[in-house]
Structure 1
Amino acid sequence: MVIYFCDDNEETIEKYAQWITKASEKHGIEITLVTFTSGEALLFQLSDSPNEAAIIYMDILMGSINGIDAARQLRACGCAAEIIFLTTSEDYVYDAFDITPLQYLLKASTSVEKFEQVFLRATALAGKKADNMFLCVTGNAKQLIPINEISYFEIWKRVIMVHYNGAENAEFYGTLDQVEQQLQDKNFIRVHRSYLVSLSYISKFQPRKLVLKTGETVPIGVTYTKQVKQAFSDYISQSNIHIIV
């Protein structure tokens, strides 16, 4: 679990990094802790992969960009991390409301025990979110994509392209067998040797192809047609979706 800690005071970073490390070791939670001394550095790190961190601890009173503004920018670019404000002032608690932070902690009055309770709550919530995210790795770049935004995967010479959020896509190396195994029980179905489709995005069946809710079309292999139609029928039944003809 990747945790980011942003504070412009090195001593503060060292203190709470120890608290986080001890809590994670105590409860057997494997973490990677990355620290930042400015909101600008944090935003730059997350600019291409806003969901790289599962939990973000954020000071508010920092240099040219404060923690509230940094968190707003993160939310605006799709960051779904559990944000915990850890600050010296309670003056910004109402400003933080629309950012939906997990907690607003005051440094002076937060005990080790309270900090640990919030940490455990954050890791539990982040863990549930992780089950609904797909990790796309290209070289050193990592991107987390919400599974419910993915319409389909296609492969060409070991390069897999994931189509998501209507018109966006990302590429990575792998096999569709690996992706299919990873998304087992997530309502994805192999419709062709080169295509893996989300059942929730299927709009209609046409001869030799599927029309998706995004307007895209995907070929369907002859040998896959029967099992795809059965899987889609089962999905409709299990979802209690009523189709009016």
Structure 2
Amino acid sequence: MLKIFLCDDDLDARAQYAGLIKKAAKKNKVEITISYFKSGEELLFFLADSPNQADIIYLDILMNKLNGLDTAKRLRELGCSSEIIFLTTSEDYVFDAYDISPIQYLIKSKITTAKFEEIFNRAITLVSKKENDMFLCESGKNNIRKVIPFREISFFEIWKRIISVHYNGGEVFQFYSTMEQIENQLLHRGFVRIHRSYIVNMSYIMQFEQNVLILKTGEKIPIGATYMKQMKQVFANYISRTNIHDCG
């Protein structure tokens, strides 16, 4: 399900672009949800605590108070990696817009259905490529969606069906799942199951200490006896492939 946010202070424009988005999605057999925002301030407030809830953001530039360019800059500062498509009536900001790495700068008066669909498909392609390098999870409790680069994840742990993903040197995000489902998502990505309650990113392993694994983050993770042999073999293969020799 592709999550699309549409931010424009013009009600008629929102309706027009929503129609084009739905038409392109239907033609290309893509399931979508669209959320609507009437100002940059409203969009920023909604994304403040979880900036990567949208896959694609359609953003008008000429809005009252906070314009689309400043909104996009603040979103990037928050860590938002969503694909951004600018919509505007003016070409005056075209060079400023590219500092934010948008997919496209669309002039409202020049948009054709074919052009809109072309940009929509380009956005889908970029989102798909990004998802290959990202771990996606969603908290059912407050409906917060999290997109985390695999390289930033140090380990996963489970307690009573609640998965905690540890990432970015100390941050934690919790969601409902099973370790088996997580293992399937992590195939061939350098992770290893070391305990019935733990899966570890092998690039974070610093050393072994009896039945404990010490990570580069300083955290100590127990190694389950039934996982010891398999874990050592998987890690040895990983060391061989990556030529890493900094473990004890």
- TM-score w.r.t. the length of structure 1 is 0.93
Which has the higher mean CA deviation after the structures are superposed, 121-130 or 171-180?
Answer: 171-180
Quote the offset at 1:134 in angstroms.
2.2
Quote the offset at 1:172 in angstroms.
2.0
Quote the offset at 1:193 in angstroms.
1.3
Letter in 1 for 2:67: N
Quote the offset at 1:244 in angstroms.
6.9
* Count of matched residue positions in the alignment of Structure 1 and Structure 2: 244
Where in structure 1 do 4 or more consecutive aligned residues deviate above 3 Å? Answer: none
- Provide the residue aligned with 1:170 in structure 2: 173
- Provide the residue aligned with 1:203 in structure 2: 206
- Provide the residue aligned with 1:109 in structure 2: 110
- Provide the residue aligned with 1:11 in structure 2: 12
1:146 has 2:143 as partner = no
Letter in 1 for 2:202: L
Quote the offset at 1:159 in angstroms.
2.4
Q: How does 1:1-245 map to 2 (within 5 A)?
A: 1-131=2-132, 132-144=134-146, 145-239=148-242, 241-243=243-245
Letter in 2 for 1:121: R
Does the CA contact (< 8 Å) of 1:153 and 1:197 recur in 2? yes
Does the CA contact (< 8 Å) of 1:138 and 1:171 recur in 2? no
Letter in 1 for 2:142: N
Quote the offset at 1:181 in angstroms.
2.3
Letter in 2 for 1:154: E
Distance 2:97 2:241 in 1: 39
Distance 1:244 1:58 in 2: 46
Quote the offset at 1:153 in angstroms.
1.0
Does the CA contact (< 8 Å) of 1:90 and 1:106 recur in 2? yes
Letter in 1 for 2:53: E
Letter in 2 for 1:232: F
Distance 2:196 2:68 in 1: 47
- TM-score w.r.t. the length of structure 2 is 0.92
Does the CA contact (< 8 Å) of 1:89 and 1:106 recur in 2? yes
What stretches of structure 1 of length at least 5 have no aligned partner? none
Does the CA contact (< 8 Å) of 2:137 and 2:175 recur in 1? no
Aligned residues: CA RMSD: 1.7
Does the CA contact (< 8 Å) of 1:134 and 1:147 recur in 2? no
What stretches of structure 2 of length at least 5 have no aligned partner? none
- Identity among equivalent positions (%) equals 52
